[in-house]
């Protein structure tokens, strides 16, 4: 059995996974919709409504991932990687909208409870749809980790949230069956909606941070700093190096870092450039997906931007 650490090329590509997500969404809409129809359960109906969000999200994510995969061009010299954040944010907004609709319908059912029917068939259909979602969520999480794709991760988290939601609905309906308390069903639907709101808000927030050029993750920053420290500790040359003004950002699966490397003014340009190339190579190996820009400066000189910053402080 392949491990979760299989390299990205061994995985399905994002477009294929999202097309599969669209197919699974259609299947779960049918299964959960049928479950809600035969049981008249507001909990199962609310679960089916979320599957429509899964479908719309997967379709939009497919479009954004396709755009994000385009190479850099004259109008977008840094590439199109940030398109994935629009996918995640759109999915979050749809989740919140679906939650509002679910709560509205559930409140009406809470005021006028209705008996449930054919629970056995309804629960079986719900469990079957959850198995589809769980398998797809696992594949999406695996690909998202390997490719550092927020669009795939957002879709995976949504599907996993859907699985837990379905599990809660099933447990609640079993409780309704044995207790006879019909108001538990719409109350459960409201709980489902609140959970959906939480996941939607989290996705919107994370997308906004990505669009605002959030810094690299702590582990990536630590790896970057450790690599620079290693060069600064080299015998002879290391004692004459200084790295500062490090700025990092993320754009989808791509990572960027800009920094200054100060070397003795007596060095030849060839010597300094050769060492800079070694540092760049080491950084890209330490932090996957990193694009680094290193500005060379003499030890006794600061960049003009740094000088202006110090003057204003």
In the prediction, which pLDDT does 123 show?
80
Give CA angle at 168 (87, 111), nearest 5°.
Answer: 95
Give CA angle at 265 (261, 267), nearest 5°.
Answer: 85
In the prediction, which pLDDT does 207 show?
78
> Range(s) for CATH 1.20.1510.10 in the chain?
8-211
In the prediction, which pLDDT does 292 show?
92
Per-residue pLDDT of the chain (313 residues; tens, 9 = 90+): 343 433 333 467 888 888 888 898 899 888 888 888 887 777 677 777 777 877 887 888 888 888 877 887 888 877 777 777 787 788 788 778 877 877 777 787 777 776 777 777 878 888 888 888 888 888 888 888 777 777 787 788 778 877 877 777 777 777 777 777 777 777 877 887 787 788 788 878 877 777 777 788 889 999 999 999 999 888 776 667 889 899 998 876 678 899 999 988 888 899 899 999 999 999 999 998 888 999 999 987 765 544 545 444 5
> Is 8-211 assigned to CATH 3.10.20.30?
no
In which region does residue 267 sit, left (phi positive, over 0), alpha (psi from -120 to 50) or beta (all else)?
Answer: beta
In the prediction, which pLDDT does 7 show?
39
CATH class for the domain made up of 218-312? alpha beta
How far apart are the C-alpha atoms of 253 and 284, rounded to whole Å?
14
In the prediction, which pLDDT does 303 show?
58
In the prediction, which pLDDT does 8 show?
38
> Range(s) for CATH 3.30.70.1350 in the chain?
218-312
What lies within 8 Å, CB to CB, of 201 at 6+ separation is: 92, 96
How far apart are the C-alpha atoms of 25 and 64, rounded to whole Å?
18
In the prediction, which pLDDT does 3 show?
39
How far apart are the C-alpha atoms of 53 and 259, rounded to whole Å?
42
How far apart are the C-alpha atoms of 154 and 76, rounded to whole Å?
25
How far apart are the C-alpha atoms of 231 and 229, rounded to whole Å?
5
Q: Phi and psi of 263, rounded to 5°?
A: -130, 160
């Amino acid at each position: 059995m392949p491990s979760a650490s299989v390299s990205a090329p061994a995985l399905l590509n994002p477009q294929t996974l999202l097309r599969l997500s669209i197919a699974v969404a259609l299947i779960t809409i049918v299964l959960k919709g049928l479950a809600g129809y035969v049981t008249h359960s507001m909990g199962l109906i609310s679960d089916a409504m979320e599957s429509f969000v899964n479908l719309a999200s997967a379709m939009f994510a497919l479009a954004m991932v396709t755009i994000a995969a385009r190479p850099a061009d004259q109008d977008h010299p840094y590439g199109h990687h940030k398109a994935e954040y629009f996918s995640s944010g759109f999915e979050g907004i749809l989740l919140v909208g679906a939650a509002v609709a679910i709560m509205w319908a559930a409140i009406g059912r809470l005021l006028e409870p209705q008996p449930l029917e054919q629970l056995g068939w309804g629960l079986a259909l719900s469990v079957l749809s959850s198995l589809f979602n769980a398998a797809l969520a696992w594949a999406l999480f695996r690909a998202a980790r390997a490719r550092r794709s927020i669009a795939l991760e957002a879709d995976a988290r949504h599907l996993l949230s859907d699985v837990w939601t379905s599990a809660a609905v099933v447990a609640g309906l079993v409780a309704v069956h044995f207790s006879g308390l019909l108001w538990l069903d719409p109350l459960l639907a409201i709980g489902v909606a609140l959970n959906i709101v939480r996941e939607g808000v989290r996705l919107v927030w994370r997308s906004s941070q990505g669009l605002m050029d959030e810094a690299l993750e702590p582990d990536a920053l630590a790896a970057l700093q450790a690599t620079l420290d290693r060069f600064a500790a080299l015998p002879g040359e290391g004692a004459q190096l200084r790295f500062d003004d490090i700025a990092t950002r993320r754009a989808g699966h791509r990572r960027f870092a800009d920094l200054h490397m100060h070397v003795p003014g007596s060095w030849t340009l060839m010597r300094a450039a050769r060492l800079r190339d070694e540092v760049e190579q080491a950084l890209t190996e330490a932090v996957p997906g990193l694009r680094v820009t290193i500005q060379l400066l003499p030890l006794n000189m600061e960049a003009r931007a740094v000088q202006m910053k110090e003057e204003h402080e």
